[in-house]
Amino acid sequence: MLGNFSYHNPTKLYFGKGAVSYLAEELPKYGKNVQLIYGSGSIKKNGIYDSVVAALKACGKNIVEDGGVMPNPTVEKLREGVDIARRNGVDLLLAVGGGSCCDYAKAVSVSVHCGEDPWDKYYLRFEEPECEIVPVGCVLTMAGTGSEMNGGAVITNHAQKLKIGHVFGDEVMPKFSILDPTYTFSLPKRQMAAGIYDIFSHICEQYFSGEDDNTSDYIAEALMKSVIKSSLDAMEDPENYEARSNIMWTATWALNTLIAKGKTTDWMVHMLGQAAGAYTDATHGMTLAAVSLPYYRYICPYGLPKFARFAKEVWGVSGAGKTDAQIAEEGLRAMENWMRSLGLAMSLSELGATVDMAEGIADATLILDGGYKALTRDEIVQIIKQSM
């Protein structure tokens, strides 16, 4: 049964080859000063920077440079971005990059006119913004997080060994996002694989919760099948437009809140992965891959019918003459084989974590109770050790 819900997504998307031309429609809606947010320089090598700057200049914008946003953006960088926005009276934050740039832009947007420290207010106290919010637009260059059409903004505090996401409301979500699948062609294969696994994990997090027969779970299964098929095609030929466009579109739908509507959700893989990320600063999708199978094998007995359904519907496992436990394990083995074929990290040790970090990672893990088993701290330590 679907529970009651309301659904509204305010982000306008422009999808396809050459979609950057739609900046000409969007930019005139905002004031003159545009903070151009980007990462460590990939957009300067692949030409995306030049296309965006040309569009900004054609619209007569004053460009305020804000490069150097690192993967897993830090609280120090956030404070720097806020300072840049304040000094330049910025009217629009334009993120050109992956989830890190989009998340960072949203975190800056709620902090420019806020008198308090953003880390304390939004990430430790989880308060909502009461101040004026600077609008955000995105030009996406990496598919994975769904940040282009959601209110999530994940920030890392290395001093406190915490990586925390705040999901802001409609008013913080990007006003528009430009999604050109060809912009993802230049991604290194390892980043592409990490993004693909992030997409798959977002769908699993919303799927592995509740026993009911609902539309959201059917949509989730279709999205999973699409990303599995396209991932194999894209690994073989990174410039396969069909595959890259399917991956980009699936990423957006995997986390724009649609498939969570009317049902409960889990999100423990992300809680474990984020805590491990705070200790290792490893790529987000890789941390998720490293903890997923130990976690799913642990909770499988508590949600057996769903894991058996996952095996049959997503991985094509035949159920004839088998118990649900056998079917479920076959499904998880198929998932494991797929993950290995993408070259994903299969352990936290590969990402630089050591067993002596297990207790600390467990302490940094936010425990949620929407999945098939509300974990105790001891169980979390056990799963983290199994992920090493």
Q: Which residues contact 160 (CB under 8 A, 6 or more apart)?
A: none
At what angle are helices 304-315 and 215-236 packed, to 10 degrees? 50
Cβ of residue 197: shortest distance to ligand NZQ, in angstroms?
10
Of 101 and 134, nearer to ligand NZQ (C-beta) is 101
Binding mask 85-124 for Zn ion (x = CB under 5 A): ----------------------------------------
Considering only 27, 61, 71, 136, the residue that binds ligand NZQ (CB under 6 A) is 71
Of 22 and 253, nearer to Zn ion (C-beta) is 253
Considering only 17, 31, 40, 120, the residue that binds ligand NZQ (CB under 6 A) is 40
Q: What does the angle CA 240 – CA 241 – CA 246 come to, to the nearest 5 degrees? A: 105
Tell me the HSE value of 257 on the side-chain side, using a 13 A CA sphere.
17
Residue nearest to ligand NZQ (CB): 39
Of 134 and 289, nearer to Zn ion (C-beta) is 289
Gap between the Cα atoms of 100 and 265, Å rounded: 24
Q: Which residue intervals of the chain are DSSP H helices?
A: 23-26, 42-45, 48-58, 75-88, 99-109, 118, 189-207, 215-236, 241-254, 268-280, 284-299, 304-315, 324-342, 358-364, 377-386
Q: Strand, coil or helix: what is 217?
A: helix
Considering only 13, 14, 99, 348, the residue that binds ligand NZQ (CB under 6 A) is 99
Of 184 and 387, nearer to ligand NZQ (C-beta) is 184
Selected range binding ligand NZQ among 16-24, 92-100, 120-128, 322-330, rule: CB under 6 A: 92-100
Gap between the Cα atoms of 173 and 167, Å rounded: 9
For residue 144, state whether it binds ligand NZQ (rule: CB under 6 A): yes
Q: How many residues bind ligand NZQ (CB under 6 A)?
A: 33
For residue 103, state whether it binds ligand NZQ (rule: CB under 6 A): yes
Say if strands 162-167 and 152-157 run parallel, antiparallel, or are unpaired: antiparallel
| Radius of gyration of the CA atoms of the chain, in A | 20
Of 183 and 329, nearer to ligand NZQ (C-beta) is 183
Selected range binding ligand NZQ among 139-147, 211-219, 313-321, 345-353, rule: CB under 6 A: 139-147
Question: Among residue numbers 187 through 226, which ones bind Zn ion (CB under 5 A)?
Answer: 198
Considering only 30, 183, 208, 267, the residue that binds ligand NZQ (CB under 6 A) is 183
Per-residue b/e over 266-295, b at no fewer than 16 CB within 10 Å?
bbbbbbbbbbbbbbbbbbbbbbbbbbbbbb
Say if strands 62-66 and 92-97 run parallel, antiparallel, or are unpaired: unpaired
Cβ of residue 320: shortest distance to ligand NZQ, in angstroms?
37
For residue 42, state whether it binds ligand NZQ (rule: CB under 6 A): yes
Query: What does the binding site for Zn ion look like in residue numbers (CB under 5 A)?
Result: 198
Query: What does the binding site for ligand NZQ look like in residue numbers (CB under 6 A)?
Result: 39-42, 46, 71-72, 97-101, 103, 141-142, 144-147, 150, 152, 154, 165, 183-184, 186-187, 191, 195, 198, 255, 270, 284
